[in-house]
Amino acid sequence: MSSVEKENKNYTINQLNAAAKTSYYQWMVLNKKIKIANDNLLLLEYMIKSMEIRYQYNMDKLPTYYKAKSQYSELQNMIVMLQNDIAQKRIILNTLMVRDKNNIFEVDTAYNLNDLKYLLSDTTSLSLNRSDVKAIDKTITINQLKAKAEKTKLLPEFGVRYEHMFAFGKQPQQFSAMLMVNMPFMPWSAKMYKANANSYLLKNESLKWQKEMILNEATGMISGMSTELISLKKQYEITQNSIIPALRRNYETALITWQNNTGDLFVVLDAWEALNMAQIDALDKLQSILLAQVEIEKQLEIK
């Protein structure tokens, strides 16, 4: 029975590892979002100061100035929200590490996108790797032994009793030996033992169905997550390699045009906003990729 508890312990450890990975990757993406937000604050601060100077010479309009100011304040609010989310992730990780909840530490921003599409996800490999399935198999074995133990109660029980008494004086020493046989003649006791044995076999049937359900659900989830992971990686590559560079060139062109007094700042702000949204969207896709990777590793029990 201890072997079952050992597998249940491994299953719990796997769940906690997945929870730690999830919070870690979410924190990492939050750090990247804060960096983008801080960079954008510097850009908006430059625009606002430039507009204040240019307005004195009637080279800019007040509506544009106030739009830039509002976007600056929105970015500040975003940074506060992101910092609060990081504080929550820090508490979760400290709890998982059994440390002081207010312990301050930072996480590394490096990450790896693992190629999981070639990993085996059939029921046979899952049966060998998943702790919860191993626990079910060991429970089935235990139930078989319990059923066998119940059946042995239907057999006669033999016992031997031996006694030795020391004598005093000239009296001879005394010995006694007794052979005992216990015969289960009562019909109701035989039925009880048979019913107990059959109950363990019925429990095993239920456990087998439970095992099949877990394996079927796991293989389906892994297949679905693998397909989603491939799609998310393609979307992320397109966003990083095509969309963001194009939007950045569009923003830089609009900014240069405005600085040369041949363009409108509204166009610059729209271009900046599109670039900022694309960068945040790329990070959201990166987070989805990492969390899908964590879910697949959890299902496969990859440490």
What mean pLDDT is reported for the chain?
Answer: 86
Token look-up 């504080």 returns 87
Token look-up 């006791």 returns 189
Task: Report residue 86's pLDDT band, with 50, 70 and 90 as the boundaries.
Answer: very high
Q: For residue range 97-120, what is the model confidence (pLDDT) as tens digits? A: 999 988 999 998 888 887 766 565
Instruction: Report how far apart, in Å, the C-alpha atoms of 284 and of each of 81, 84, 105, 170, 278 are.
Output: 16, 18, 23, 99, 10
The model scores a pTM over 0.95 = no
CB–CB of 214/133 below 8 Å?
Answer: yes
> Who contacts 141 (Cβ-Cβ below 8 Å, separation ≥6)?
none
pLDDT for 84:
96
